[in-house]
Amino acid sequence: MSFWPPPDLDPSSPEAAGRLAVLAYHRVGDRAAAAFDPWVFTSDQQQLEDQIQYFQKRHRIVGLEEALAIASGRERLRGTAILLTFDDGYLDNYSVALPVLTSRKAEAVFFLVSGFMIGEASPWWDRVAWLVRTARQRCFSLPTCEGPRTVDLRDRPPEEAISTVLDLYKQCPPDVAAQFVEGLESVDRDAGQPPPDRQLLGPDEAKLLCAAGMSVGAHTHSHPILARLAAERQSEEMGQCRTILEGVIGTPVDVLAYPVGGPGDFDQVTQQLARDCGYRAAFSCHGGVNLPGRSGLYDLKRIAVYWGANPEYLLD
């Protein structure tokens, strides 16, 4: 049941006063036609439209400023406020999600990776997915933090094969991850694949998102797992992203979403560094809903939307 407060909660308690649910979307579009990683698709256009319609009927979709006012306890509310967010800056966020948002008069925050936006970096998960899709050899050995590991993808459908290899990759510290990709690149593969279309939005689309009333936040320069980096490198990733994004859109970019955003992907040091870099709030990608005034502004919780999610159960 998505109405708040639930009947068994004392209506005079602080918990019943209201809650802020921050939803984390990624790609929006046709998952079955994905050339790269299908797991980064969180909805297609129709699902997004249906979910927004559902939330607008039962709750209230708010913009970034109101969400931060609620989270910090400066604004009291009853019921559920919802903030929509989109990570990584895929082109479909502009071409598919934005028209839905504008037609429904809903605001959202787009967390952009500055290196992806200016073409200096590309998503490692898409690189890995592409290498797995095009590998003719389906059984090979890859370096992992526990030594060489045999990966057997025979008889595995592409989506499952990609998921298996991505799971292994995510366990690798940065130096082993580089060797892992090199190992995957050396696997015998089909030649002559068509070049992929542009997948990520660029500076022009970032400006158009802002012109359409959306907010832009930072998601680092190259999307590393911050907790695995030395403090200095973490600051560079967070600071460079902010500088580049502000240079493009011409307004302050002072909210951040930690890459990946699971409990082990950022820590107390990361949170302090985010504050030192001038961010006024930062979002994880786990943890459920936020209770006003109770959530740390550098560890705001988000709910990861998944493909085919029924909006009725997303907030529970």
DSSP string, 145-210: TTEEEEEE-TT--HHHHHHHHHHHHHTS-HHHHHHHHHHHHTS-B-S-PPPPPP-B--HHHHHHHH
**Interacting residues with Zn ion (CB under 5 A):** 87-88
CB of 77 or CB of 121, closer to Zn ion: 121
Tokens of 184: 């995957």
- What is the rounded distance in angstroms from the CA atom of residue 117 to the CA atom of residue 166? 23
Least separation in angstroms between CB 179 and Zn ion: 23
Least separation in angstroms between CB 259 and Zn ion: 5
Structure-token match 């902010």, residue found: 242
CB of 88 or CB of 107, closer to Zn ion: 88
Structure-token match 């911050």, residue found: 226
Residue number of the CB atom closest to Zn ion: 87
Cis, peptide link before residue 5, omega less than 30° from 0: yes
Alpha-carbon torsion 258, 259, 263, 269, what sign?
Answer: negative
Least separation in angstroms between CB 185 and Zn ion: 23
Least separation in angstroms between CB 113 and Zn ion: 7
CB of 19 or CB of 26, closer to Zn ion: 26
Longest dimension (CA), the chain: 66
CB of 87 or CB of 205, closer to Zn ion: 87
Least separation in angstroms between CB 224 and Zn ion: 10
CB of 87 or CB of 107, closer to Zn ion: 87
Q: Helix crossing, 231-249 with 268-276: angle to 10°? A: 40
Give whole-number Cα distances, 58 to 37, 73, 226, 268, in Å.
Answer: 33, 22, 36, 36
CB of 142 or CB of 282, closer to Zn ion: 282
Least separation in angstroms between CB 20 and Zn ion: 21
